[in-house]
Amino acid sequence: MCRLFAMTSAEPLSPMRAIHALNVMKEGHDGSGVGLYLSGLSGPFAENPDYPVLSGIFTEQGLARLDAIMSGLGFLTKYSLAVTPRHKPPVGTPLRGTYLARVYQPPAGWAGLSAEEREVQLVSTRVAIREEGQKTGDMMVFSFWPDVVMIKEVGDPIEIADYLGLDRPELAARRILAQGRQNTNYAINLYACHPFFIQGIATMTNGENTAFVPIREYLQSRRIPGYMGYQSDSEVFTHIMHFSHYKLKLPLVAYKHVITPLSEAELAEHPDRALLTRIKTVCRKMIIDGPNCVIGCLPDGTMFLVQDRKKLRPGVVGGRPGVFAFSSEICGLNAAIPDRDPSRDFQPMYLDTAYVRPDCREVTLCSQNQQLPPQH
């Protein structure tokens, strides 16, 4: 089972806090990969908060191709954090080239675009580069979005952190998602490493999604740019959240109703019975199955955790005003935020959505039995 760790903080934190927490939970993952999502960035990344950041891995030739593509599209490099490791990679980690996080100034023509149009452009640019890269294997992109940096690599989290120098101050972030991967039924492929990202939404999951194939078929048939990849069965959780957030315009707490709807008996009692029955009916193909704990972050910086319908995976949230963490295990939480009141830790159950708003003041809990916030 993979181990998940996520932190949200009012002040930027080093991603090493999360990496250490993963290390504490080490017996739960086999070190076959690590993935990081960083947002609420500081330092040079915060200077142009509206400019998109491209994260990925490039060979030398890939970098040249990237430059050609991006300048062709009219993007200007504003700031670049390029890590080309000096020493040998840890055993099992291939030598890949440059790990890049680069801030781009969008083309001049974007000034006239609406926010929504820009977002669509960002997604399709990322998809285009990814597809280009897949042809030759020289470019890999994980995200292209303002205020988001993503890093993925195969190997043990601590060793990778050391190898890539993840303790550098430029990477300090307010919101961090980190996953230590337990490779299961799919081949180790960087695109299979969590977290997954699309249009400002990132999620990571542990467990196995047994309904993967029909859900994948369904999402692919939506013909939405970016609904691709699926090297991991968990990628669909990100896309379902994307679909529910952007296409259905549902609030965060409705996500649970999409992926694990209430039974008919539970619905009978519910104040939002009509709407929820509707959601259950029309979103049936997106019902997930299997043991899954999903932790993610929304475009507005809200961090959340939900469990599968039976709560078959561990997951805990705790912290103190200013810093909260979501963790697969309590030991991870202890390592990251020792100075909290552990009696206020909460393990969300099968009906709960637990979330922390970007102001980081408190954990909010919402049960599926509760009324949904008013819709507009």
Q: Which residues bind another protein (CB under 8 A)?
A: 1, 182, 184-185, 207-208, 210-214, 217-218, 221-223, 243, 247-248, 250, 260, 263-264, 274-275, 278-279, 281-291, 308-310, 312, 375
Shortest Cβ 319–another protein spacing (Å) = 28
Shortest Cβ 296–another protein spacing (Å) = 19
Shortest Cβ 375–another protein spacing (Å) = 7
Return the number of the residue (263 or 343) whose C-beta is nearest another protein. Answer: 263
Shortest Cβ 346–another protein spacing (Å) = 22
Residue 187: which residues within 8 A CB-CB, separation 6 or more? Answer: 231
Return the number of the residue (26 or 357) whose C-beta is nearest another protein. Answer: 26
C-alpha to C-alpha distances, 110 to 51, 68, 120, 351, 374, nearest whole angstrom: 11, 19, 12, 42, 34
The burial class, CB within 10 Å (0-12 / 13-18 / 19+), for 14 is: middle
Contact (Cβ atoms closer than 8 angstroms) between residue 114 and residue 125: no
Return the number of the residue (100 or 219) whose C-beta is nearest another protein. Answer: 219
Return the number of the residue (125 or 353) whose C-beta is nearest another protein. Answer: 353
Q: Determine the Cα–Cα distance for residues 107 and 90; give it in Å rounded to an integer.
A: 39
For residue 225, report the phi and psi dihedrals to the nearest 5 degrees: -55, 135
Compute how many other C-beta atoms are within 10 angstroms of the C-beta atom of residue 191.
17
Shortest Cβ 259–another protein spacing (Å) = 9
Shortest Cβ 347–another protein spacing (Å) = 16
Return the number of the residue (9 or 209) whose C-beta is nearest another protein. Answer: 209
Return the number of the residue (114 or 263) whose C-beta is nearest another protein. Answer: 263
What the block records as the tokens of 228 is 């691709």
Return the number of the residue (53 or 254) whose C-beta is nearest another protein. Answer: 254
Q: Are strands 148-153 and 352-356 parallel, antiparallel or unpaired?
A: unpaired
Q: Determine the Cα–Cα distance for residues 41 and 174; give it in Å rounded to an integer.
A: 6
Return the number of the residue (113 or 248) whose C-beta is nearest another protein. Answer: 248
Give just the sign of the alpha carbon dihedral 30, 256, 203, 252.
Answer: negative
C-alpha to C-alpha distances, 178 to 108, 170, 181, 254, 351, nearest whole angstrom: 35, 17, 10, 24, 24
Shortest Cβ 261–another protein spacing (Å) = 8
Return the number of the residue (106 or 315) whose C-beta is nearest another protein. Answer: 315
Q: Determine the Cα–Cα distance for residues 301 and 364; give it in Å rounded to an integer.
A: 14
Shortest Cβ 313–another protein spacing (Å) = 9
What the block records as the tokens of 53 is 């950041």
Shortest Cβ 310–another protein spacing (Å) = 6
For residue 298, report the phi and psi dihedrals to the nearest 5 degrees: -95, 170
Shortest Cβ 253–another protein spacing (Å) = 15
Return the number of the residue (48 or 184) whose C-beta is nearest another protein. Answer: 184
